[in-house]
Amino acid sequence: MKYIYIVDYWVPFPSSEYGGVVTVVAKNDVECHDLLQSWRDDCDSKYDSGIMDAVSKAVVLELANDEPSEIVSTFTT
């Protein structure tokens, strides 16, 4: 079973001016975290501690089909 996570971008101002949203397909919170950590820019690695908190606050919806785990879309500033 897979889920779609709608995650608020965890990088604070001023590094991220207005935040954003990252949409992820993952089987659980840990996989979502790992996908986000591998996706993020290296210069934002100092904010990695905020990823799991953002995942735990994400809107999570169950998918009807077994989709591949991946970052689906991003919008960050």
Per-residue pLDDT tens digits for 43-70: 889 999 999 999 999 999 999 998 999 9
Q: Please tell me the pTM assigned to this model.
A: 0.93
Q: Report how far apart, in Å, the C-alpha atoms of 69 and of each of 6, 12, 35, 57 are.
A: 14, 26, 8, 19
Helices of type H across the chain: 29-39, 51-56
* Domain range summary for the chain, segments of one domain joined by +: 3-76
Phi and psi at residue 58, to the nearest 5°:
-70, 155
Per-residue pLDDT tens digits for 9-20: 999 988 888 899
